[in-house]
Structure 1
Amino acid sequence: MATANGNGDAVEFITVGTGGDARGITVSLQRPAAGNGLAHFVWLGGYRSDMSGTKAMELAGLAARLGAGCVRFDYSGHGASGGAFTDGTISRWLEEALAVIDHAVKTIGTRRAVLVGSSMGGWIALRAVEELARRNGVEIAGLVLIAPAPDFTSELIEPNLTQAERTALAERGQFEEPTPYGPDPNIYTLKLIEDGRQNRVLDGVIETGCPVHILQGMADPDVPYAHAVRLMEHLSGDDVVLTMIRDGDHRLSRPQDIAKILEAAEALAGAP
C-alpha cells in the first residue's frame, strides 16, 4: 500500500517476516529525476531514532536538490513502523533494512546506493554491505558512517554493566538506562545483547569494497572517538576517510555537522 507525504514522496508499507514474526515497516521512497545517474541514498537510523529526524530529513533534502533517489524507513518498534521495540535485535533490523533495499530496487529502480548510517545504523550498514555482496542487483557506491557504533552491545554495553543491570538481564531479560535524548529510558534486552555477538564486525578485516567516510565527534559521550579509530583500522583494505569533529557530540545535528555529512554523501553519490 502506498500514500504520499507532505513532500510528495511515496510512503510505502511493507511486511517483513511471516506468521507471528510479521511486522509492518514504513518506508519513504523519493524517486530520482529522469536520467539522473547518481547513486540513491539509503538512510539507516540509530537506536530509537526514526526517519523524520534532522539528519534523515536533511539527507532527503540533499537528494531532492540533486535529483537523486532517497530511501528512508523506520525499523520495527521505531517511529511509524509496527512491532515491539523490545523484540528488536541487530539481525531483525538488518533483515528489515535488506527488505527495504529490495523493495527500493523493485519500486524506484535502486541499482547503486550510498548507505548513510547513524550510530547503530553504521553497524547495520556494515552488516548490510556484507549481506548484499552475496547477491546481485545493488552496487554499494559508498558508506557514510555518522558516529558509528558497530558491535556496541559487546564493546560498549557489556563491559560496563553494573551488577544490578546484570541481575535485571538474568531475571527480567532487560534493563533500563536513563538517556539525555528523551523522557523515556533506553531499554536493552538480553536478546539484543546475545544477538549482537552473532553480528560482530570488529573481529577481523572488514571488506566493504567501496569508499567509506566516517564522521565522529570527539565530545561524543556515547561512542568514544577511539571506537571510530578502531573501526578505521578494521577497514584496512578500503578507501577510508575519518573526519574528527573536535566539539561534536553523538548526534552531530548542528548545521556545521550536517554540512559535513551532506558533503560526504554527495561526493560518494557521484555518477559512475
Structure 2
Amino acid sequence: MQPSAPEFLDVDGVRIAVRHQSGKAPGVVWLGGYKSDMLGTKAEALANWASGSGHAFLRHDYSGHGESGGDFADGTISTWLSQSLAVFRRFTEGKQILVGSSMGAWIALRMVQELRKAGEDRIAGLVLLAPAPDFTAELIEPALTDGQRRDLIEKGFFAEPSDYSDQPYIYTRALIEDGRYNLVMTGPIDTHCPVHIIQGLADPDVPHAHALKLVSQLPADDVTLSLVPEGDHRLSRPQDLDLLVRAVEALIERAA
C-alpha cells in the first residue's frame, strides 16, 4: 500500500516531514535511527498494526533524513531531539508509548527527561530496539582511528562505509561534541514508566553489552529485556516485527 503524503511542520526554519494516524490513546510514537527514515520496515509494520487496532500512530523524519528538509551534516542529537519534541507536542494527546530504534532510543530517553522537566507526564512506556544511547561517546569515540581523528580536526567530519546504503555514514565533529551534552548513561536513569528493550545478539553495530549496561542503569523502573539470538541491528525479520508489536501491545495493556 502506497503511504499517504506527509504533512510538514516548520521547526526552527526546517520543514519536518510527519505522518500521523489519529486514533485512541495510548498512541504510539516512532523514533527512527541514524540515517534511517519513517518508511522503513519496522515503522510500516507499526503503522499497519495501528490501522488495525485503532490506536494513534505518529512518525517523522529528522532533518536531513527521508522527506524532511535540512542538511544531514548539520544534524546533532540536540537538533533532532528538539524536532522530535516539537512533533510530539503538536500531534499527540494523552498518554503515549515511545518506540525508539538505535539512535531513536537515545532520542526517546532524552525526550522523557525533557518532558518531565517541563511537567509533561505523558509517556506510558518505552520500547527500545537495538538501543544506542550515548553512541557517540560509548561506541564511536573509543574506536576512532588516527585517520578519523585527523579528519575530524581538519575536515570537521569523517566518512565510513554503510552496510545499509550506497552512501557512506558521515559523523561530524559537531555531532560528537553535542553528544557529550546529551549523555544519559552517566548514572541511574529514571523513566517513570515500564521499558521493554529488544536486542539482537548478532548485531554488528551495537553490541548487546551496551543493552545490558542500559538495563543496569534503569534500577527504578520495570524493565523487560528480550535478547534475540540471531537478531541483527535491523531487527526487521517477520519474527522480530512480531516481537515488536507484542511488546507495544503489552505496554498499551498496562497503560489502559
Q: 1:73 to 1:210 in 2, by over 3 A?
A: same
Question: How far apart are the structure 1 equivalents of 2:15 and 2:147?
Answer: 35
Aligned mate of 1:43, from 11, 19, 30 = 30
1:118 counterpart = 2:101: yes
1:184 counterpart residue number = 167
Aligned mate of 1:27, from 1, 18, 21 = 18
5+ residue gaps in structure 2? none
5+ residue gaps in structure 1? none
Q: Among the aligned pairs, what percent are the same residue?
A: 55
Tell me the SS of whatever aligns to 1:201: coil
Tell me the SS of whatever aligns to 2:117: coil
1:71 counterpart = 2:54: no
1:135 counterpart residue number = 118
Question: How far apart are the structure 1 equivalents of 2:239 and 2:6?
Answer: 30
1:16 counterpart residue number = 11
Question: How far does residue 12 in structure 1 lie from its aligned partner after superposition?
Answer: 1.7
Question: How far does residue 124 in structure 1 lie from its aligned partner after superposition?
Answer: 0.3
Supply the AA of the counterpart residue of 2:238: P
1:104 counterpart residue number = 91
Question: How far apart are the structure 2 equivalents of 1:197 and 1:258?
Answer: 32
Q: Confirm or deny: 8 A CA contact 1:111 1:137 kept in the other structure.
A: no
1:193 counterpart = 2:176: yes
Supply the AA of the counterpart residue of 2:10: T
Supply the AA of the counterpart residue of 1:118: S
Question: How far apart are the structure 2 equivalents of 1:222 and 1:248?
Answer: 12
Supply the AA of the counterpart residue of 2:85: L
Supply the AA of the counterpart residue of 2:53: L
Question: How far does residue 98 in structure 1 lie from its aligned partner after superposition?
Answer: 0.1
> What is the root-mean-square deviation in Å for CA atoms of aligned residues?
1.3
Supply the AA of the counterpart residue of 2:11: V
Aligned residues: 255
Question: How far does residue 138 in structure 1 lie from its aligned partner after superposition?
Answer: 5.2
Q: Confirm or deny: 8 A CA contact 1:127 1:199 kept in the other structure.
A: yes
Q: Give the TM-score, by structure 2 length.
A: 0.97
- Write the deviation string for residues 141-167 of structure 1: whole angstroms up to 9, x where unpaired: 100000000000000000000000000
Question: How far apart are the structure 2 equivalents of 1:7 and 1:75?
Answer: 18
Question: How far apart are the structure 2 equivalents of 1:7 and 1:222?
Answer: 29
1:52 counterpart = 2:39: yes
Supply the AA of the counterpart residue of 2:6: V
Question: How far does residue 136 in structure 1 lie from its aligned partner after superposition?
Answer: 4.2
Question: How far does residue 6 in structure 1 lie from its aligned partner after superposition?
Answer: 4.6
Question: How far apart are the structure 2 equivalents of 1:259 and 1:179?
Answer: 26
- Write the deviation string for residues 153-200 of structure 1: whole angstroms up to 9, x where unpaired: 000000000000000000000000011111111000000000000000
